[in-house]
Structure 1
Amino acid sequence: MSDWHGERPYSRPNRVEGGLTLRSKRGEVARTWWSRRFIDVLESFGMGGRLARGRTYARTGQVMSLSLSTSVVVALVMGSRPEPYRARIGVRKFSDEDWVRIERALADRAVFAAKLLAGEMPAEIEELFEGLGLALFPASPREMSMDCTCPDWEVPCKHLAAACYLLAESFDADPFEILAWRGRGRDDLLERLRELRAPMPAAGTAVDERLPALDTVLDAFWQRPRAEAVPAPDEPVAHHPGAVLDRLGPLSVRGRSVTDELRPLYRRLG
């Protein structure tokens, strides 16, 4: 098979040293349901027959580089010409307002974030997007754009097709890349989910900023508390034998002063 009027009929592509290659050497490319879903979407757009043209390119390392950023994937693919072709795959990104709704819905389902961190795309996540009136994967060809600098007029050409297969395998390895392609990178998304799931103080509860941070008091938690010092009395305590009687004040029984009767006894004891 040859490219249209640009490459020589039946010409072999220039060999690439260290090019990107598919892990699968034969048969199906996608291993997980979400990357398989991506390939199924492309085939549903009538690209199935043309996609197969690029599978050999993807398996023999003709793709020199593949980079993903918000809404666009760019690949450099070597053909039979001296310079590589640039293949681009674009998708409509979600708006900031859409992402606010998506993040709130994901924060309400903690298991979704846990599965994503474990390298797995939750099977129910498509239903979550549908409930918000959105589609995780492109719903129609209008949501995607493809172009290549090669002279082949068919879309996808084999250079684009090779990039699509490698993109599917990158989704296998990290499902966060699907979300990054739609406009929200891994770190930003996880940080936002942490903020949304952080416990909030009850209404009317004042926060005492004078309280020490928890990590500064954990080491001393199991230590025996120190005894508090006893404050000194306001007046010095006298030490003469009758001092206690003086502190009692006047005390009498049947007209006789008890304190006076006890003073001789206290003097002898002293």
Structure 2
Amino acid sequence: MSEDEWWRDGPPARLIKVENGLRARSLRGDIARTWWSRRFIEVLEGLGLGGRLERGKRYARQGQVVSMALSPSIVVATVQGSRPAPYRVRIGLKAFTAEQWRTVEQALAGQALYLAKLLAGEMPTGIEEVFESVGLRLFPTSFAELSMECSCPDWEVPCKHLAATCYLLAESFDTDPFEILAWRGRARDELLDALRSRRGQAPPAEPETDPLPDDPAAFWAAGPVVPAAQPPAPTAPGAVLDRLDPLPVLLRGRPLTEYLRPAYRAFAEER
């Protein structure tokens, strides 16, 4: 039974194939290859939802994920099912504050090996201990730390659309471990610049010079037209819930925030 037909009798709807969808590189077996991406997948697979996760893995390998974008505290994606319109998926993880990141950077700067590994595009194996030494955890260790939402009619979380997004997210971590740090609120260049500065390794900035034009008359000519600023991207409904600590309240065995998200989305659609 498809995700569109689970609530009624009748033949299952046919899955709509996606052209040029995001497709997992792995064709069989485990998807995550590096230890840091496995840390993320272990949380998902620890839920024991074997069949649901296997269907999500097949979706990832078939290219059913149409788009996926990561920003601090949130990953948004669209996943094609059997309905004409793709489903909207969001996965939230609380980002660290600027003060927390300054504490982390100070701890990391004291380890030359960590800086060398990060500059080489690798995640140091001991980096988890560094975060734990300042009272933080880089990787989510339980499902409660992740907020998940999908616009499909399946009430189970994670559904196969969320699972497919998680598997593709793990593969993106394989390629670029800095995406994990960006999800927690610190971009690659910002982190590396801060670490170099703290270790006194920041390269000297080259002086900025504006060469004079060959034609003296061009000196008084108007400069290039500055493009108009683009409007900020809209904030996802309920994104504020991702920046709060998990509420210690369960309703029917599920976190209270999972019941609040549909309300946020309904308010946003009415405006």
- TM-score (ref. length: structure 2): 0.70
What displacement does 1:9 show?
Answer: 4.8
Superposed CA RMSD in Å reads 2.4
Pick from 191, 194, 199 the counterpart of residue 192 of structure 1. 194
Asked whether 1:148 is paired with 2:150, we answer: yes
Q: Give % identity.
A: 64
Partner residue, 2:113? 111
Distance 2:146 2:87 in 1: 20
Q: Which runs of 5+ in 2 are unaligned?
A: 208-271
Note closer, same or farther for the CA distance 1:88–1:180 as it changes in structure 2 (3 Å cut). same
Q: Which residue of 2 aligns with 1:203?
A: none
Residue type at the aligned position of 1:132: V
SS at match of 1:153: coil
Matched with 1:65 is 67
Residue 45 (structure 1) shift: 4.0
Residue by residue over 1:84-135, the C-alpha shift from the partner in whole angstroms, topping out at 9 and shown as x without a partner, is 1111110011122211110111111121122123222111111111111111
Kindly provide the amino acid, as one letter, of the partner of residue 94 in structure 1. Answer: F
Q: Which moved more, 1:109-118 or 1:181-190?
A: 109-118
Among 164, 184, 191, the residue aligned to 1:182? 184
Counterpart CA distance in 1 for 2:148 and 2:23 is 21
Q: Which residue of 2 aligns with 1:19?
A: 21
> Is residue 97 of structure 1 aligned with residue 99 of structure 2?
yes
Greater displacement, 9-18 / 75-84: 9-18
Shift in alpha-carbon separation, 1:71–1:64, aligned structure 2, 3 A: same
The 5 A counterparts of 1:233-244 are none
Q: 1:122 to 1:78 in 2, by over 3 A?
A: same
- Give the superposition deviation at 1:26: 0.6
The amino acid of 1:2's aligned partner reads S
1:13-60 C-alpha deviation (Å, 9 max, x unpaired): 211110000000011101111111111122224455532220111001
SS for the counterpart of 1:90 is: strand
Structure 1 residues 26 and 92, CA, compared in 2 at 3 Å: closer, same or farther?
Answer: same
* Match 2:43 to one of 20, 41, 44: 41
Q: 1:9, 1:156 → 2: CA distance? A: 24
Structure 2 residue 80 is matched with structure 1 residue 78: yes
- Change in Cα spacing, 1:79 to 1:7, as seen in structure 2 (3 Å) is farther
User: Retained in 2: the 8 A contact 1:6–1:151?
Assistant: no
Q: Which residue of 2 aligns with 1:246?
A: none
Distance 1:193 1:144 in 2: 28
Query: Structure 1-normalised TM-score?
Result: 0.70
Q: What is the rounded CA distance, in whole Å, between the counterparts of 1:191 and 1:129 in structure 2?
A: 19
In the alignment, is residue 2 of structure 1 matched against residue 8 of structure 2? no
Unaligned runs of 5+ in 1: 201-212, 217-270
Report the residue type matching 2:2 in the other structure. Answer: S
Q: How many residues align?
A: 204
